[in-house]
Amino acid sequence: MKIKNYLKYILVSVILISLNISGKVYSQNVDELYEKIDLFSEVLEKIENEYVEEIDQSDVMDAAINGVLQSLDPYSGYMNPEIFKESQEETSGEFGGLGIEVSMEAGVVKVISPIDDTPAARAGVKAGDYIVQIDGEQVQGKTLMEAVNLMRGPVGSPIEITIRRKGLRKAKIIKIIREIIEVKSVVSKQVKNKVGYLRLRAFNENSSKQLKKEISEIEKNKKLIGYILDLRNNPGGLLSQAIKISDFFLHDGEIVSTKGRKSRENKKYFAKIGDKINGKPLIVLINNGSASAAEIVAGALQDQKRAILVGETTYGKGSVQSIIPLRNSGAIRLTVSKYYLPSGKSISEVGVVPDIKVEEEGEEFSINTDTDNQLNYAIKLFVG
């Protein structure tokens, strides 16, 4: 069966089934849908007969599915079985690649955040960068998954990305060597033997356990006067982890709520009685690379007046994606709801605004107390 006929059959079947299930049949809408299907079929026929190279029908099907999902928003998309497997490895805390969280914007790849101590971070990739070329190949016109696949490769192999960055007049070429990315969620230390510093890099399956362990160690210090929770360049991750980690610092109250088209997506999450740092003062560091789950934590602690936020406005990703497995062992990533802070505000497109704005100084992100002006500012709020 030719691809155009096969797709037409599938599309018609899906539409008719959907209309029968809903019990709502509008003849005008059906006619319009048939016209669109005929147009789509015609386009596919032209591609099959006229395109300069022979096409892989399986790839075309994948691209069509992904195109539908990407038209909804930048965060929805199709994952073939290979990519779905890799995404599960990422969530479990270890995966291969460059070490960046990305989305698609204006037809190019936008860096949400580089992950600490990964090839991308060490090479100078920054939150907000736009990747316009990968190994000399234009990103424009590709899907997000296609671009991600171009960035994947054997461990130890080189890759060259061309980026556009706000404030730079010319494109910047960055050379990176691919590595296995081991996401160590938590880094901690004690500053001046008085302030507990907790750097949370991501929200994966192990994050809350690691953070709880580090807090328990720091709490042994009887001279401790407060904590700094560093969420800068944290691209987010699991909603369940954001809720658990917010609960570590709250005695009670709402953490976040989600609202979707389906009533089952409308939920509210509350903190349990108890605060693991025993009410000590808390400062949270944020920047434009703080996204998704990181914004939930920062926003909840700010709204509940539990912490002072220092740094720069966050990324503004206020939606929840559900990973829905498919029969081919792949999956779709679909936006099913948006989340709202305790104040009722959505952070979509606007982010979380810090209480004290401190812009990052210098070209590279750092957590060295000698060069990190944002961290230094937070420390001075505690010790002067």
Q: Catalytic residue numbers?
A: 292, 303, 317
Tell me if 134 sits within 8 A of 98, measured CB to CB: no
CA distance 375 to 113: 18
Q: Is the dihedral of CA 363, 369, 370, 373 positive or negative?
A: positive
Mention every residue, 6+ apart, whose C-beta is less than 8 A from residue 341.
256, 296, 299, 300, 302, 303, 347, 352
3-state secondary structure at position 327: coil
Q: Long-range CB contacts (< 8 A, 24+ apart) of 41-47? A: 41/4, 41/5, 41/7, 41/8, 42/4, 44/3, 44/4, 44/7, 45/2, 45/4
Which residue matches tokens 């108890």? 274
Task: Compute the chain's Rg from CA coordinates.
Answer: 23
